[in-house]
Amino acid sequence: MRIASRLSAFSNILIRNAFGSEMRLSWPQHLQASRTVELAGESQQGMALALMGMSLLILAEDLLDSEQAACDSKRQA
């Protein structure tokens, strides 16, 4: 698959997740995001940078939710 089409497909996934009720990506989706951005050439740098920012925001939210869930489960035990 060409990089431009991979970036476009990834942007659709991010938009769907960012504007949904929860900002969630699976770990394989996070890995695919980083690999796709890594392969972007000079002509796609702007889109790749924007997608990287969105995916990092979603990753930070996912990690924070995971940490809070772990803390909550420890308190209840």
When pLDDT is cut at 50, 70 and 90, the band that residue 34 belongs to is confident
User: Residue 14's closest CA among 44, 40, 47?
Assistant: 47
Show me where the domains of the chain are located: 3-76
Say which residue, 14 or 22, is predicted with more confidence: 14
Instruction: Give the Cα separation of 30 and 50 in Å (integer).
Output: 15
Tell me what pLDDT residue 15 has: 67
pTM for the predicted model, two decimal places: 0.63
